[in-house]
Chain A
Amino acid sequence: MNETYVDILVIGAGPAGLAAAQAARESGIENLLVLERENEPGGILRQCIHNGFGLHRFREELTGPEYAQRDIDAVRAMGIPVECGCTVLSVSPERVVTCVSRTKGFRVFRAGAVILAMGCRERPRGALCTPGTRCAGIYSAGTAQRFVNLEGYMPGRRVVILGSGDIGLIMARRMTLQGAKVLACVEIMPYSSGLNRNIVQCLEDYGIPLLLSHTVTDIRGRDRLEGITVSKVDENRNPVPGTEIDYECDTLLLSCGLIPENELSAGAGVRMSPATSGPMVSESFETSVDGIFACGNVLHVHDLVDHVSAESLKAGHAAAEYIRGNRPGGETIPVCDGEGVRGTVPQSIRKGAAGPVDLMFRPSGVFRNASAVVENDGREILRKKAMIFTPGEMSVVTLKEENIRSLTSGKLTVRIERS
């Protein structure tokens, strides 16, 4: 089989892949290719027709398709080839990439560097262990979003939403505006992982109750969903008998979190983080395999696409530097999660890296008036106070160049300290 060589191959043309490609071209890489499975670039933003994107990056409020269009236009203007309808099948540790498309069949590429930008997908029902029968009418919120916004039909009329993540909240409003009755949004935790803005504008505006510390305990229906039972849960998330509420509904939407889509990464032998479900990366977004980089939701789940773009621009630049043989040297310092912190990215920093470096993480609970503290070998090097840390929002502390220079051997730890 003939191999075609490219300097940088980007997998996925969502906001992450499109931003990484722009950065790589800006850094002077000519021989560059983006492969995308769907028939259009833009990724998941194509189905996110609501507004609220781009406030950080463009200082205006855009809808998902409008945000995506800006990157699509920029990539076109730079003449970067984006091949749609092409699914990547495998990536080897030597960066040999196989793919298949309807028009060009099976092909093999050899890449100087690979950027993984495959995004994430929703946690399926199986992963959630919901009880009751397996009838029709149960969808993930994102699937319902795709039906309504990209295929133009409604999955049901009387709806309950399980999980109060942002996609579920957005779909509560979307279904209501399309004439469905949304009976309740049910959340097992005592807090919602969604943005306040979405709780107010998607639920409260339409009088949809948010039941915190509740879960679905029964699902009824033979062919089609007919009803569900919701119960209150105690501190250990066990249902409390006697608190059951029955709802008659034909649709249950599950909005219970996203998982990075990493079959390809695993196949490439990339070391994975159990905390993020994404690859472990250095400060330049390089994985444990030489020349394979990762950015966007495939690396860790973001709430804001603006942050996806910012991160992916850095990954694109870093991949270009790698192609030129410029790679930060120096000792590798591991970055670890401390108390109250989960899934810090990057998982390591090289001492020779240029600053600043953002350490991104999810708080493991809600902390008010607390500080994020970065320690190197038990020595505090940085502290950032905030009025609130919540699991629904990615937190960031930024290491400056002088912080990195001053690192000693041993690990870096990020933790949250209550005051």
Chain B
Amino acid sequence: MKREITCINCPVGCRMTVELSDDGTFLSVTGNTCPRGAKYAQQECTVPTRTLTAVIQVPGSPVPLSVKTASPVPKERIFEVMQAISTAEVSLPVRAGQVILKDVLGTGSDIIATRSLDT
């Protein structure tokens, strides 16, 4: 099985072809110009993850609270995690770095505030 992907690590944007076995195991990659491309291709074809950012409305604050996942979460769970974030309840004040949801949906990643909000 073959998969085409674009390396995101630099502006060259190499188009790479990844060879996968039938069960999806990474076998080889071609088309990368440097080792960073190979590393990215392997990661992206085995456990793709993304850092998610979002905002949460906070009662009493005119500005919503911006948050992020403290570490990247599996790509296929992005929408579930967004849903969980949207139901989080937060009250003022908030400090940047404060944990808003611990270990969101068992992904091992916390949702943390990326700004402070005062009362």
Name A residues whose Cβ lies closer than 8 Å to a Cβ of B. Answer: 46, 49-51, 61, 63, 65-66, 69, 148-152, 177, 195-197, 199-201, 204-205, 387-388, 390, 392-393
Contact of A388 among B5, B11, B82 (CB under 8 A): B11
Contact of A66 among B12, B64, B78, B115 (CB under 8 A): B115
Closest partner residue, chain B, to A148 (CB atom): B55
B116 CB → nearest A CB, Å: 8
Complex Cα distance, B96 from A150, in Å, reads 16
B-chain residues with CB within 8 Å of residue A49 when the two chains form the complex: 53-55, 66, 68, 114
Closest partner residue, chain A, to B50 (CB atom): A201
* Inter-subunit contact A177/B64 (CB<8 Å): no
Contact of B114 among A65, A152, A393 (CB under 8 A): A65
What range describes how many residues of B lie at the interface?
20 to 34
* Inter-subunit contact B114/A66 (CB<8 Å): yes
* Inter-subunit contact B13/A152 (CB<8 Å): no
Complex Cα distance, B97 from A375, in Å, reads 49
Complex Cα distance, B115 from A65, in Å, reads 6
A52 CB → nearest B CB, Å: 9
Contact of A65 among B5, B6, B51, B66 (CB under 8 A): B66
A-chain residues with CB within 8 Å of residue B55 when the two chains form the complex: 49, 148-149, 152
A-chain residues with CB within 8 Å of residue B66 when the two chains form the complex: 49, 63, 65, 149
Known: A65-B66, A388-B11. 11 other contacts (CB 8 A): A61-B51, A65-B96, A149-B64, A149-B66, A152-B55, A152-B57, A196-B10, A200-B8, A201-B50, A388-B13, A392-B11
A362 CB → nearest B CB, Å: 13
Within B32-49, the residues touching A (CB, 8 Å) are 33
Complex Cα distance, B6 from A201, in Å, reads 11
Within B61-99, the residues touching A (CB, 8 Å) are 63-64, 66, 68, 75, 78-79, 82, 96
Within B4-31, the residues touching A (CB, 8 Å) are 5-13
Given A177-B82, A196-B6, A388-B11: A69 and B115 within 8 A (CB)? yes
* Inter-subunit contact A177/B54 (CB<8 Å): yes
Complex Cα distance, B51 from A50, in Å, reads 9
A-chain residues with CB within 8 Å of residue B54 when the two chains form the complex: 49, 177
Complex Cα distance, B47 from A23, in Å, reads 43
B-chain residues with CB within 8 Å of residue A65 when the two chains form the complex: 66, 96, 114-115
